[in-house]
Structure 1
Amino acid sequence: MGQHSSGEDAPAGARHVPVALTRVADLLRPAIADRAAVLVDATLGLGGHAAALLASHPQLTLVGLDRDPQALAMAGRRLAAHADRTHLVHAVYDRIVDVLGELGLPRVDGVLFDLGVSSLQLDADERGFSYSRDADLDMRMDPTTGPTAAEVLNTYPVAELARVLREYGEERFAGRIAAAVARRRARAPLRRSAELVELLYEAVPAASRRTGGHPAKRTFQALRIEVNGELDALRTALPGALDSLAVGGRIVVLAYQSLEDRIVKRELAERSRSRTPVDLPVELPDHGPELRLLTRGAEQATEAEIAENPRAAPVRLRAAERIREAA
């Protein structure tokens, strides 16, 4: 969603610095420069990447998706100078194929995913994404729909809550935390982030707190992913985005935690391999790789980028180019 992060406690100015902007622009340039190209920014956020790309490429048409109506409105103001070349759509990125169909754009030249929570969401206290500021336990990226974090905590069976914390937060003490939540909600429902943070300080062993970072970090991540269906949305969105790329088109994905990055890595690797049996001496027709990987593994932020924007610290960037139509 524009300027993204899974981290916390960055200075307020960080929200205006899109992560890896120069690298993103360099990777997309061969696919969108000097032609009437179409780029999908699947996580528009505050429009930082989009504004720079539209300014650099006067023939570029941008399709910007975001599930957060507030972010979409702010990005619209930021991109007003390019309004004749933008389509801003209130949608989760797993609807990318539907949105492109509705716009009559079956093929695009570039796709950008900047995953995680946007700076706008982290910095808005009332949204409840941050464990460092007390707020209602909401965590919805689209505040108009879906269950809140409080509803998850107060209504999920203990085993299901433990699964969410274990799978989405990679939380070693998921069972202990889920049991503590159950005891607490039997007395009174959890409503505020400070209540949850206090509970986590008590539930997570002190020895782990000394080495494992803030005891709330993993639980807050897990709740956010569950509330917003982030991993399921990504699993649907990535294949749709790749299928929409024209030959020569490029995709760039910025992920901020290992679960997202694993999904991206697997999908790109799968499509960059030949499907010709290894014992055959020649490539079978329509069996060659669909994609060429543009990054060796996942690229990380430079020290200079992290100094400029601390929220870039966890980023994992991967990119690929479409080299042939799918069979």
Structure 2
Amino acid sequence: MTAASVPVRAERVEAPYEGRTALLVHGGAWAIPDDAVEAHRSGIEHAVAKGRALLRHGRPALDVVTDVVAFLEADPTFDAGCGARLDRDGRAQLDAGLMDGTTLAWGAVANVRRLAHPIRVAGMLLHHDGQARLLVAEGAERFAAERGMELIDNEALITEAEQARFEQLHADHTRFHTSREFSGLEADPHGTVGCIALDQAGHLAAATSTGGASYTHPGRVGDSPLVGCGYYATAQAAASATGWGEAIAAVLLCGRTVDTVASGTSPERAAAERLQHMAASITNPQGEPATGGLITLDASGRGGVAYTTPRMARGSWAEGGAIRVAV
């Protein structure tokens, strides 16, 4: 498949009919199997409903995206928190990041192994008055523990399905690459989760969390905790991404999408254009173009979704409208 042949599916999300509040949620873009569609649909629907309730109660956008992503981290359907993919050592390692569009404050953690909700620790860093905005591994876990967050055993993050996937990949690891939609054994999940929201005050925020790709080298970091790559928010727009992390980071996918929206391009068109640019710019060792998915939202509440994978789990809501979910 060449970059020119990569189909880009783009959707518009209507602006609020009443007031200003809106949110979009995603649960990864990949070849989601038919028998997993309903679990993805249900998880996204419940996450959007949670975000809607928070926005209706006047919660700030930053709190909303944090709580929605934490909710998805607890759902083993998705590749974040419990249900994370396992590295070559058979352990889960988690990354997360979030950003306040009004202040441009951000926080992130990477390579944490003993936290159920890395997005909440990223939020602590955003609000922390120290110099750190990104902490990794034991340093991030120590920071969390010092502030009362429980450290858990890594085994608590590992599901039976991911243990079985690890054992399959371990038996034939030469065929695996983090960019591939398929491992040669079964569809390789890219179930990173994300949320972007616009609150009653007109403020935007973005958050992304992931358990990474299957069978990666221990210590590998993708795009999700990197500001401007896996997430970004300003006063004009917000975005969250999913897909091949190394490619997303190389093209600064979310940052450039937000800038494109801020220049006047519609959210869905901006997302599609940036994904097309990524596909045209980067290929994996097999010559296949980089793929992924994006959600984006502007300050008027107009949203957009685009993806270059067979499926993407996504949902949205805008004040005055109904919850919309698709996979």
TM-score by length of structure 1 reads 0.29
Higher normalized contact order (CA 8 Å, seq sep 6+, divided by chain length): 2
1 or 2, which has the higher strand percentage? Answer: 2
1 or 2, which has the higher helix percentage? Answer: 1
